[in-house]
Amino acid sequence: MSSQTSTNRKSDEVADGDSADLPQAIVHATPTVVALKAPPDPMRWVKRGIYAAVVIIGWVFISWSNRYRFAAPVVMLQLGWLAVVSAVYFLWHTGASATAELDGTDPWWRPVGKIEELEREKRAMLKAIKEVEFDQQMGKQSVSDANEIIAVYRARAIEVIKAIDAAQATGPATKRDEIEREIKARVEVLGKSARAVNKATQAAKRGKKGAAATDAKPAAPSADTPAADAADATPATVTEEQAS
């Protein structure tokens, strides 16, 4: 947001650079991840205090000028004043954000990623299996029908879990930036504590090591499973193409 420091702006630029800049991005991975979770603005309470003070002073003035009679016009004026102060606050931020230097290289734009989508599909599969089990127990389906359907769902769920594992495991070297972006995006979105940030950093490091290993031994998932197909048809493929 607009309160981002220049440090993280700089690191964002590095992190989201071309594949040609990849080594640099890896070098900067740790400070980037840490910097993305910028420390809270120490002045935030002062700013909030000023905002509250302006609102309250206005309210007191309105009340005083109306001899503290809280009739409908006074209430409307006070609500109006609150809206005026809020409008000034938001519009100031509108302008400030528009002129901030946050563009182009921001991990903000990274989609949540294929792991998130696979996780969602897995959750849907698990719920579907439970739903069929529940229907069967309720007497809506025979055991054989339910088992037949559950077997299909289980097979698909296992494929998805495998795909998730494959995606979480260190992939080819060219997937490093994707993993790094994924971590950054997650940390940014979740806004977790320093512990979460450290975990993410370690994961990035593991990704770096694992990537070197998998350069020699590619592709963990079997290429003939749909899940593996799904895993291949991801932004990672695009990155590989860009890199080549």
Binding residues (CB under 8 A) for another protein: these are 1-2, 71-73, 76-77, 79-80, 83-84, 86-87, 89-91, 93-95, 97-104, 106, 108-112, 116-117, 120, 122, 124, 126-132, 134-135, 137-142, 145, 148-149, 151-152, 154-155, 157-158, 161-162, 188-189
> Cβ of residue 212: shortest distance to another protein, in angstroms?
26
Nearer to another protein, 27 or 73 (CB): 73
Nearer to another protein, 1 or 219 (CB): 1
Dihedral of the CA atoms 162, 241, 32, 24 (nearest 10)? 130
> Cβ of residue 215: shortest distance to another protein, in angstroms?
26
CA-wise closest residue to 24 among 16, 37, 105: 16
Provide the 8-state DSSP code for 175: G
> Cβ of residue 208: shortest distance to another protein, in angstroms?
26
166 contact partners, CB below 8 Å, separation of at least 6? 220, 221, 227, 228, 231
Question: How big is the chain, counted in residues?
Answer: 244
66 contact partners, CB below 8 Å, separation of at least 6? 73, 74, 77
> Cβ of residue 197: shortest distance to another protein, in angstroms?
17
Nearer to another protein, 215 or 229 (CB): 229
CA-wise closest residue to 50 among 85, 80, 81: 85
Nearer to another protein, 49 or 95 (CB): 95
